[in-house]
Amino acid sequence: MLLHSLLLVLGVSAVVPALAQVAGTFQVAGNTQVSAMMMFVVSPDKVYILDKVEGNAPQINGHSQYASIWDIPSRTATPIDVHTNAFCAAGMHLPNGSYALFGGNTAVGPGGDNSAPGSTATFDPTYQDYDGTRAIRIFNSCDENTPCTFIDNSTQLAKRRWYPAAEPLGDGTVVLIGGFVAGGYINRNYPNTDPAYEGGAAEPTYEFFPPGSQSPQIMNFMVKTSGLNSYALTYLMPSGNVFVQANYSTIIWNPATNAETPLPDMPGQIVRVYPASGANAMLPLTPDNNYTPTILFCGGQYMDDYSWGNYSYPFANTWTIPASSDCHRITPEPTDGSSPAYVQDDSLPIGRTMGQFIALPDGTFLIINGAQNGTAGYAQMTLTVPSGAMPFGESLAAGPVGQPAIYNPNAPAGSRWSMAQLSSSNISRLYHSSALLLPDGSVMVAGSNPNIDVNLTTIYPTTYTAEYFYPPYFSAMTRPVPQNIPSTLTYGGNYFDITIPSTSYSGPGNDAADNTTIWLIRPGFTTHAMNMGQRILQLNHTSTVFSNGTIVLHTSQLPPNPNLFQPGPAMLFVTINGIPSNGSFLIVGNGQFGPQPTSSTSVLPENVRSASASGAAPKSASSNNNGSGSSSHTGPIVGAVVAGIAAVGVLGAVFGICLARRRKSLAASSHTMSSSPGTRFGGFSEREMRNSDSSAFMLLQQNHQSDDAPMLSPYQDKFGLQASSQFAQSGEINPYRDAYLSRSSTPR
């Protein structure tokens, strides 16, 4: 409030990025119009944001808005009219830089179900949405010059999938694995007498996009992990096989043959998959580790088998159960001939469910969002708490963690985690929140909505406020400005030269050259505390330092194995002395589905050094940080000097207040942002209890018995009529539609 009023006084609107970018702090960035359950960034300017279908106040073409395009520089959201319910879909980049969203929920109306008159699972007349369970939606890349276009009526999945896993293969094909047929807390009935199909509520098969000639096959691992296997955690390995983790089991899976090789169980039987929702990420692939993937898991939840409950709700009161702080690493394909094994890693500073790893362009990982207790998901009751009497509204988690932490994979064991100089956000980011690396190296944080439909008056409300978090490198006075970054990269082949002007760094040129890393980052598709497809790879390089301070980086293409970094969009960052440049968008590979051209890696020129060279940038003032976490160095990018200076003072004050509050709560409970029933961060009064006696997942109980009736797609006919004028849907023909149609006409 304080900040906002001050900005009003100064006549600075939130649209103008006039605030100082203070390292280690959050800055309120604006209103996303829809609650940001899913996000992905496609250019320096644009982020697509999708919500589930619900009663958001902003309207488009006569119904609530469920999707928007976020303009990063102006911090404004523009509505787009998506028609199918993308609630808990999977998403993945495609080789050409577009993104595809797969599956989701049926059509729903108010209350998140079909109870309104005339509402069916196929179409709801109030919210005017269509069934999304088999939908494939394609969102094309766009920027300030290229309009944002999308199609949500092209091919359909062979199976209904809600919470499927998605993993791209080395040829750009996306494999979709498992999912619910119609949603629920976890993917089982109790007792679990039909682990494969759960009476029609589970989908244990996998299929591909673009679809090949094969009909969906059962993946045995989906039967084995029945119960805790939706949004399975998947990582393509260098061999082309896929690491798959769900419940507390792990396998290596061959997508060509469907063969499974068991790997060890997750130590402690800690569950990382939804709804335990541990943070997980592939650590950086670097020349030093010879591009060998290691997967890191942190947090999540352990509960006994019974407590996990069934489709309707947990049988335990999850909000009273602290989340795990355990971290384990595994290298699934060791190159030294050893057997893959989980290895204990430094524990999280604060246990979390729904913590989310963001790969940062200095090779570290941010963990952000989530809660200290409970799990993802929502419900109106549990086995022992009747409908409407849950203490945190419909949330199955409690105790938001507002303070991020940073993990340095290269630090010695025992010192990998740091929360130093990282401020807390006071906005709870729980179920259906999201976080995403932006091209300037900041992290966009948005969403949170552990509610069936929009609820602005509950303890953890439907959240429309986005924040930008500024990692520690925003303390730098000067960011590198690399030149001549190509727009495409190949797998092997000739190296290329990136020029670093002397104004990009300070100090001796030789030291800067020796302390430079070149990162490719794919921020991925964020939803449910995951960034599907997120990867970070360091390009090999040598360098020439010129006496005038210019540094030329002789930069390798990617290693000649598309499985290391699948074809598609990425950002390239040059990081000098720990300070990253802005990311440049480019396409890795040939932009098309299919085998990617590879060639051997060219030999790089020898390093050349110049003792007299030095950088011309002002010395970084990052040492100005005094450790309070409330006052960091002001970044260089200040739109309006006066406003900036004033705002820094106010920010200090605001965060000072937060910090004091945090310390108080730390003293009281040893938790940040602790929150007890009846109290909340904002000014709202005591919560009132909802009187409905229906379960949050009532809908799926109705759908349980239904067999796999052919899905109609009535939205296809009227679709074109409803395009918003500014962001028209593309009318282009999808090349895979014909393939799909011919396939579906062949007998299965």
427 contact, one of ligand NAG, Cu ion, none, CB 5-8 Å limit per kind: ligand NAG
Closest CA to 5 of 709, 729, 647, 515: 647
Using rule CB under 6 A, residue 380 touches ligand NAG: no
Identify which of residues 59 and 290 has a Cβ nearer to ligand NAG in the complex: 290
Identify which of residues 257 and 412 has a Cβ nearer to ligand NAG in the complex: 412
Q: How far is the CB of 63 from ligand NAG (least distance, A)?
A: 17
Q: How far is the CB of 186 from ligand NAG (least distance, A)?
A: 6
The footprint of ligand NAG on residues 28-87 (CB under 6 A) is 44, 73
Using rule CB under 6 A, residue 96 touches ligand NAG: yes
Each as own residue / partner, the long-range contacts of residues 658-662 (CB below 8 Å, 24 or more positions apart, any chain) are: 658/423, 658/424, 658/426, 659/423, 659/424, 659/628, 659/629, 659/630, 661/426, 662/402, 662/403, 662/424
Neighbours of 606 (CB within 10 A): 8
Using rule CB under 6 A, residue 278 touches ligand NAG: no
Identify which of residues 347 and 716 has a Cβ nearer to ligand NAG in the complex: 716
Binding site for Cu ion (CB under 5 A): 88
Identify which of residues 162 and 248 has a Cβ nearer to Cu ion in the complex: 162
Identify which of residues 35 and 694 has a Cβ nearer to Cu ion in the complex: 35
Give me the amino acid identity at 362.
D
Q: Tell me the C-alpha distance between 56 and 455, whole Å.
A: 10
H helix or E strand, kind and range, residue 5: helix 2-10
Identify which of residues 310 and 563 has a Cβ nearer to ligand NAG in the complex: 310
Identify which of residues 223 and 257 has a Cβ nearer to ligand NAG in the complex: 223
Using rule CB under 6 A, residue 652 touches ligand NAG: yes
The footprint of ligand NAG on residues 542-571 (CB under 6 A) is 542, 546, 548, 550
Identify which of residues 356 and 517 has a Cβ nearer to ligand NAG in the complex: 517
Using rule CB under 6 A, residue 687 touches ligand NAG: yes
DSSP string, 362-383: TS-EEEE--EEEEEEEE-S--S
The footprint of ligand NAG on residues 133-172 (CB under 6 A) is 138, 140, 151, 153-154
Q: How far is the CB of 1 from ligand NAG (least distance, A)?
A: 4
Name the one range near ligand NAG by CB under 6 A: 81-89, 230-238, 350-358, 682-690: 682-690
Q: Per-residue x/- marks for ligand NAG, 331-370, CB under 6 A?
A: ----------------------------------------
Neighbours of 238 (CB within 10 A): 19
Q: Which of 268, 287, 409, 492 binds ligand NAG (CB under 6 A)?
A: 287
How many binding residues for ligand NAG (CB under 6 A)? Answer: 82
Using rule CB under 6 A, residue 624 touches ligand NAG: no
DSSP string, 591-634: SSSSPPPEEEEPPPPPPB--TT-B--SPPP-GGG--SSSS--PB
Identify which of residues 347 and 584 has a Cβ nearer to ligand NAG in the complex: 584
Using rule CB under 6 A, residue 1 touches ligand NAG: yes
Using rule CB under 6 A, residue 457 touches ligand NAG: yes
Q: Angle between the 2-10 and 641-669 helix axes, to the nearest 10 degrees?
A: 170
Give me the amino acid identity at 493.
G
372: buried, middle or exposed (CB in 10 Å: 19+, 13-18, 0-12)? buried
12 contact, one of Cu ion, ligand NAG, none, CB 5-8 Å limit per kind: none
Q: Which two tokens stand for residue 674?
A: 């602790």
Q: Which of 110, 200, 267, 322 binds ligand NAG (CB under 6 A)?
A: 322
Task: List C-alpha distances in Å: 168 to 159, 271, 331, 660.
Answer: 18, 24, 19, 45
Q: How far is the CB of 539 from ligand NAG (least distance, A)?
A: 9
Q: Which two tokens stand for residue 146?
A: 């290229």
Identify which of residues 28 and 90 has a Cβ nearer to Cu ion in the complex: 90
Each as own residue / partner, the long-range contacts of residues 288-292 (CB below 8 Å, 24 or more positions apart, any chain) are: 290/335, 291/238, 291/537, 291/559, 291/561, 291/564, 292/238, 292/331, 292/333, 292/334, 292/335
CB 229 within 8 A of CB 215: no
Q: How far is the CB of 485 from ligand NAG (least distance, A)?
A: 12
Q: Which of 385, 419, 604, 711 binds ligand NAG (CB under 6 A)?
A: 604
Q: Which two tokens stand for residue 454?
A: 């929009």
701 contact, one of Cu ion, ligand NAG, none, CB 5-8 Å limit per kind: ligand NAG
Closest CA to 658 of 616, 615, 622, 629: 629
Around 566, how many Cα atoms within 13 Å sit in the side-chain half-sphere? 31
Using rule CB under 6 A, residue 682 touches ligand NAG: yes
Q: Which two tokens stand for residue 29?
A: 């960035």
Identify which of residues 56 and 577 has a Cβ nearer to ligand NAG in the complex: 577
Q: How far is the CB of 418 from ligand NAG (least distance, A)?
A: 13
88 contact, one of ligand NAG, Cu ion, none, CB 5-8 Å limit per kind: Cu ion
Q: Which two tokens stand for residue 718?
A: 């009227």
92 contact, one of ligand NAG, Cu ion, none, CB 5-8 Å limit per kind: none
302 contact, one of Cu ion, ligand NAG, none, CB 5-8 Å limit per kind: none
Name the one range near ligand NAG by CB under 6 A: 231-239, 560-568, 640-648, 733-741: 733-741
Around 337, how many Cα atoms within 13 Å sit in the side-chain half-sphere? 0
Q: In the bound complex, which residue of the shown chain has the CB atom lying closest to Cu ion?
A: 88
Q: Tell me the C-alpha distance between 133 and 102, whole Å.
A: 8
540 contact, one of Cu ion, ligand NAG, none, CB 5-8 Å limit per kind: ligand NAG
Q: Tell me the C-alpha distance between 114 and 106, whole Å.
A: 9
CB 701 within 8 A of CB 311: yes
Using rule CB under 6 A, residue 426 touches ligand NAG: yes
Task: List C-alpha distances in Å: 469 to 541, 575, 665.
Answer: 30, 19, 22
Q: Which of 216, 399, 471, 482 binds ligand NAG (CB under 6 A)?
A: 399
Cross-sheet strand order for the sheet of 205-209: 165-168, 174-177, 205-209, 217-218
Identify which of residues 88 and 658 has a Cβ nearer to Cu ion in the complex: 88
CB 179 within 8 A of CB 201: no
H helix or E strand, kind and range, residue 738: helix 735-745
Identify which of residues 366 and 398 has a Cβ nearer to ligand NAG in the complex: 398
Around 207, how many Cα atoms within 13 Å sit in the side-chain half-sphere? 26
542 contact, one of ligand NAG, Cu ion, none, CB 5-8 Å limit per kind: ligand NAG
Q: Per-residue x/- marks for ligand NAG, 177-206, CB under 6 A?
A: ---------x-xxx----------------
Closest CA to 136 of 150, 164, 123, 155: 155
Q: Which of 27, 312, 555, 598 binds ligand NAG (CB under 6 A)?
A: 312
Q: Which of 143, 260, 497, 511 binds ligand NAG (CB under 6 A)?
A: 511
Using rule CB under 6 A, residue 479 touches ligand NAG: yes
Q: How far is the CB of 88 from Cu ion (least distance, A)?
A: 4
Q: In the bound complex, which residue of the shown chain has the CB atom lying closest to ligand NAG?
A: 227
Identify which of residues 125 and 322 has a Cβ nearer to ligand NAG in the complex: 322
Identify which of residues 257 and 511 has a Cβ nearer to ligand NAG in the complex: 511
Cis status, amide bond into 191, omega within 30 of 0? yes
